[in-house]
Amino acid sequence: MRNDARGVAITAGRAESLQHYETALQQFQSYVGDPIATLDAALEQDPEFVSGHLMKALVLFTLGERKFVAPVQASLDAAQARSAKASDRERMLMGAVRELLANDWHVACRTLDRVLIDHPRDVLALQTGHLMDFYRGDALNLRNRVIRVLPHWDASVPGYSYVLGMHAFGLEEMNQYPQAEQEARRALEVEPRDGWAVHAATHVMEMQGRIPEGIEWLESRRSDWAPDNGFAFHNWWHLALFYLDDARYDKVLELYDTGVHPEPSPILLSLVDASALLWRLTLEGVDLGKRFETIADEWEAQLENEAGYYAFNDLHAALAFSACGRQRSLARVKEAMTHAAAGTHVLAGMAREVGIPLVAGIEAFSKEKYREAIEAIEPVRDIANRFGGSHAQRDLLTLTLIEAALRSGDRARARHYLAERRVLKSPASRWGARLEARA
């Protein structure tokens, strides 16, 4: 048994494995580098590296895709085969992986929190829990999970900036915008290249309608968050949203082509951002060329594995298929979601309560059945956090609802939701002003 740089016990057969563990943790938190490649190299040399097997399982799971279930299971099996040598903490992490694989995400997140009770500096448990809180739409624990361990962290502990960045994002999703921005800036004083902290402050500016400041924030820090960063596509997406609010459509398309989705991606998180940005541009009547067709092609290549797994992803596939009129592919998504919704686990509830009605609303909107779109989206919009995503991401639903109201001639309903959005997103939003001018 060896201790990592924060004093957490790690089971490994070789001293070198501890350095690999630290490197992989840094890569996991910073999005710079490939933690899986680092862990694979370590495990090849040290099959007894229990925490290495567990980290590989958890990092892969947090990508949120069904195709990683089999390799996650393989890593869990390798860890469990060595459970006699494992620490109590590692055995609890094995339990969390089992619960995640069983789609018991809420239970798994409670298990991760029990790990943090005794090991508040366990970066692996904390980072995994934070990401799973996001996927579950649990804004309370997105913030509070970090708050509960913060007394055990300070600038002398490796990885402190990333903990502050997580705290900042949790504060933002709980609408504590001044505190969130302050915490993000503190994180960046420690580590200027902390892309998650940059992202947290960006969310604050997005939600407060600080469009010019948001553009300056991201543009001036490009050299910190963009180079060689696996999360950069999402910060490019945020930059594009600022320009979109400002009606600078040519700039948005340029950012889409060079930053958000410059090439085909096997990672669904990238397809989600691409689809969401293109849908917003469609609402604004912007000519997209073949961009949505290309994204629909990429989603179709993923359907066999991914349809019906995570409803948030399914919705974004439906955006592409609906926009392109691909009814057969859309039907496959709907069928898979219906099958998933018959279950009793967390993912079934996401599909049943949120995903299926929202997909129906998007389909109706694309067919110009705007009353049907309103009837499908309106009852679900206020509980859409249940299938994950952020305030900024779910704003797409409000924008679609308002646009459906305007196109159906229901100006009173459009004004009703614009009044809400004006407060939640600030009167400074130029997109909001454009919609109000039509209402």
Q: Which two tokens stand for residue 131?
A: 């990401």
Please return the burial class of 157, using the count of CB atoms within 10 Å of its CB with bins 0-12, 13-18 and 19+: middle
What's the pLDDT tens digit per position in 105-130? 999 999 999 999 999 999 999 999 99
What's the pLDDT tens digit per position in 306-349? 999 999 999 999 999 999 999 999 999 999 999 999 999 999 99
Q: Which two tokens stand for residue 281?
A: 């541009």
The pLDDT value given to residue 1: 77
Reported confidence tier of residue 2, pLDDT bands at 50, 70, 90: confident
The pLDDT value given to residue 268: 97
What's the pLDDT tens digit per position in 231-285? 999 999 999 999 999 999 999 999 999 999 999 998 999 999 999 999 999 999 9
Non-local (6+) Cβ contacts of 260 within 8 A are 233, 236, 237, 240, 270, 273, 274, 277
Whole-number percent of the chain with pLDDT over 70: 100
Would the pLDDT of 295 be above 80? yes
DSSP state of 153: -
- The pTM assigned to this predicted structure is 0.96
Q: Read off the pLDDT of each residue in 363-376 and give the average, rounded to a whole number.
A: 98
* Of 344, 338, 371, the residue nearest 357 (C-alpha): 338
Non-local (6+) Cβ contacts of 327 within 8 A are 321
The pLDDT value given to residue 305: 95
Instruction: List strand residue ranges (DSSP E) for 216-312, in order.
Output: none
CA dist., res. 83 & res. 98, Å (int): 14
Would the pLDDT of 13 be above 90? no
**Distance in angstroms between the alpha carbons of the first and the last residue of the chain:** 66
Q: Which two tokens stand for residue 419?
A: 């009044």
Instruction: List strand residue ranges (DSSP E) for 261-414, in order.
Output: none
Reported confidence tier of residue 427, pLDDT bands at 50, 70, 90: confident
Whole-number percent of the chain with pLDDT over 90: 97
CA dist., res. 43 & res. 78, Å (int): 10
Reported confidence tier of residue 425, pLDDT bands at 50, 70, 90: confident
Distances, alpha carbon 388 to alpha carbons 134, 139, 310, 383, in Å: 6, 9, 9, 10
CA dist., res. 329 & res. 363, Å (int): 12
CA dist., res. 200 & res. 166, Å (int): 8
Angle of helix 139-149 relative to helix 105-118, nearest 10 degrees, comes to 10
CA dist., res. 305 & res. 300, Å (int): 10
Reported confidence tier of residue 94, pLDDT bands at 50, 70, 90: very high
Q: Read off the pLDDT of each residue in 408-415 and give the average, rounded to a whole number.
A: 98
**Residue position matching structure tokens 């970090």:** 146
Would the pLDDT of 163 be above 90? yes
